[in-house]
A = this chain, B = another copy of it.
Amino acid sequence: MPSTLKKKQVDVLIVGAGPAGLMACNALAKCGVDVRIIDQREDKVAAGHADGIQPRTLEIFQASNAHSFSYGLADRLLRDGAQLHTAAFYNPGPYGGIELTDRVPDVTAPTARYPFELTLHQGEIESIFLDSLRGMDVEVDRPVIPSSITLLEDKVDDYTAYPIEVTLQHSSNSQQDQLEEVIQAKYVIGADGAHSWVRKALNISMIGEQSNFIWGVVDLTPETDFPDIRNRTAIHSNNGSCMIIPREGDKVRLYIQLDTENAGEFLTSNGRVDRTKVTPQKLLQIAQKSFHPYTLQMPKEFEWWTVYVIGQRVASKFSINERVFIVGDACHTHSPKAGQGMNASMGDSHNLAWKISHVLKGWAGRALLQTYEIERQNYAQDLIDFDKKFASLFSGKPQTENCVDGVSHADFLKMFQTFGGFTSGIGIHYADSIITQSSSQRNTKHLIVGQRLLPQLFMRAADSRPVEIQDMCPSDGRFKVLIFTGDSSQKATLQRVQAATQKIESLFSKLSEGNIFRAFDIISISTASKAIVRYNELPLLLRSHWSKALIDDTDATGTKGGDGYANYGIDRADGAIVVVRPDGYVGVVAKLDGIATIDAYFSSFMARF
């Protein structure tokens, strides 16, 4: 029986402190939002589970620290994680055993800032967020289990209301008594995994099916003579398929395909897995066969292991009235071998957090929140379509003399590379909406509206320091307005810039009640050369701090940076205004004198009524 009954209000309640929940919590806390996060587990994950970080996710981590220029949360990932630079492919050789067919770059995304995948134990990834949150005085409340949720539908459009009521059960090992608490929230984010309580409580259905593909996973420190044990390696052998994912330190994860031929003893008559019969030793024995002629020793211990059937499903909707949202595994599940799961999950939160923040602060109408489902449900569906192709190709028999209809290396490689932009996360392209207006695309040829801001090294005008433009655009909840001035060292151009800046200032002043920098940051990029540029010749709005004025030139040594206008497809005479959303995606672009386009963009969602 509950010993006390508390009742409290919070702007955002997050249910679940895995990567998706923590990413959302960190992003909201960085924006200064009143947020609370609960989890039913006693502690963070200790071993195993998801651990692949894709290039775009690295960029998002790097942007996830608004306070310290160029040292975001990616820092610890890069220091502690394993980096996967090469993908190796092994196929049956002439003597029956496998042989090296090909090695290619693991990431096929030429604009990736970090051109590799990274692996790190999920517990470490959670730690990075937990430490960041601790710095903002936010702790995960655990173990806490939600027991009921109610949404007052007649209040969903009331900006001042707390229309959601959630009852929480606190339990503690040390004391036997339970504490019941009722929370009133403006928004709830269900980040509570594939078996999401939030999703079920709100009757959101999952669409899709279980596949027939069954996989075993073992984490171990291998002893082997296999030369590609530290590369991401796909083995297609006549004795089954296997994927090697190197991990931090000397550890390796093996994904081992299980079928009736190699794992009949685990399978029930209806094709399901009988978990009581599986041991990691048996899984490794299956892997050993596909490694032949290379040897893989049976280790003394396994760090972690599991068996799973691939389920490929997407939630029918991602929110209830844009008040309760689900993110991550709660709204999409797919196979882990392409290393997408945690990335897709954190990407959901990254997409959602700033939108909630803007609406809470009164800077945008609630229509902004609809773009979450528009953008992320599409993406989840694409992911599952890809996953089906990938899983079926990977699970297919290799093409050999005896199996001419099998999967050829060329087929597999083509698939691997065609989807490189997608799997790396770099190619994510959000469809048109109030915050993604591709009708403006013509103003920047290569900077694509709906895609993330392309990485580019510019030089700070005042101190010649090379800076990555992505580092100038941290996830601090503000829109970044990049003003490409052209050659501001030319008097005529400077006059045009001054005229344009007056209009820009007047618009953003209007949009922010005179407090421009609360919701916007303004960065200027001139084509003036480093030899003669004077950073302080620009209007003050374009250099609110000296570090905000950049030039498109190489660094002092002449070896780094330059060609930014060309890489972005911006005309040096026309200049440009580029609006980057708080999540790093290009929202709208205009010529320097095209302020009306910018006005129309923000007016479409910043006004509440």
Contact = CB atoms under 8 A, between A and B. Distances in A.
A463 B546 contact: no
Contact of A68 (B79, B82, B462, B557): B79
A90 interface: no
A180 interface: no
A116 B556 CA distance: 9
A387 to B, nearest CB: 24
Contacts of A107: 556-557
A555 B534 CA distance: 38
A568 interface: no
A86 B246 contact: no
Contacts of A71: 79
Nearest to A560: B115
Interface in A61-93: 68, 70-71, 79, 82-86
B556 A86 contact: yes
Contact of A115 (B86, B532, B546, B556): B556
Interface string A518-557: 0000000000001111111100000000100000000111
A231 interface: yes
A219 to B, nearest CB: 17
A321 B556 CA distance: 47
B227 A535 contact: yes
- At the interface, is chain A mostly helix, strand, loop or mixed? loop
A199 B83 CA distance: 51
A469 to B, nearest CB: 17
Interface in A477-518: none
Give the oligomeric copy count: 2
Contacts of A230: 460, 462-463, 535, 546
A335 to B, nearest CB: 24
A106 interface: yes
A535 B530 CA distance: 45
Nearest to A547: B230
Contact of A105 (B106, B225, B556): B556
A531 B462 CA distance: 44
A464 interface: yes
Interface of A: 68, 70-71, 79, 82-86, 100, 103-107, 115-116, 225, 227, 229-231, 246, 250, 460, 462-466, 530-537, 546, 555-557
- List the 9 closest pairs (A to B, CB-CB), nearest first: A230-B463, A227-B534, A85-B464, A230-B462, A86-B464, A85-B556, A105-B556, A86-B556, A115-B557
